[in-house]
Structure 1
Amino acid sequence: MKDRKTKTSDTNPFGLRMDPEVRLRVEKRASETERSLNWTINNLLKQALGLKEPSP
């Protein structure tokens, strides 16, 4: 895997069906960190897959 930031234009859109409770919790996290829902989901997936260190 390359060590470079992925540009938005390099990514493919992906529709995701999500449990309403999960969505509420992710939206809350996004709001608390002042990030988008998309950024937060990507960040959480990277952490879960060991691709990124968890933030404090």
Structure 2
Amino acid sequence: MNDRKTKTSDTNPFGLRMDPEVRRGVEKKAFEEERSLNWTINDLLKQALGLKEPLP
């Protein structure tokens, strides 16, 4: 696995249809962590795929 940090210019935009309840939950988590919605979705996906350890 590559440990290099991904730059924004290395990523591709991706349209996502999201259930309104899921979006509200992710928006709440993003607000609580003072992060963007995009960062929060990426972080949750990485955790779900085992690419990152969840925070305690």
Give me the TM-score of the superposition, normalised by structure 2. Answer: 0.97
Give me the TM-score of the superposition, normalised by structure 1. Answer: 0.97
Q: Does 1:6 align with 2:6?
A: yes
Task: Map 1:1-56 onto structure 2 (within 5 A).
Answer: 1-56=1-56
Displacement of 1:46 after TM fit? Answer: 0.2
Displacement of 1:9 after TM fit? Answer: 0.2
Unaligned 5+ segments in structure 2 are: none
| Count of residue correspondences | 56
RMSD over aligned CA atoms reads 0.5
Displacement of 1:37 after TM fit? Answer: 0.1
Fraction of identical pairs, as percent = 86
- Which deviates the most, 1-10 or 18-27? 1-10
- Which deviates the most, 20-29 or 1-10? 1-10
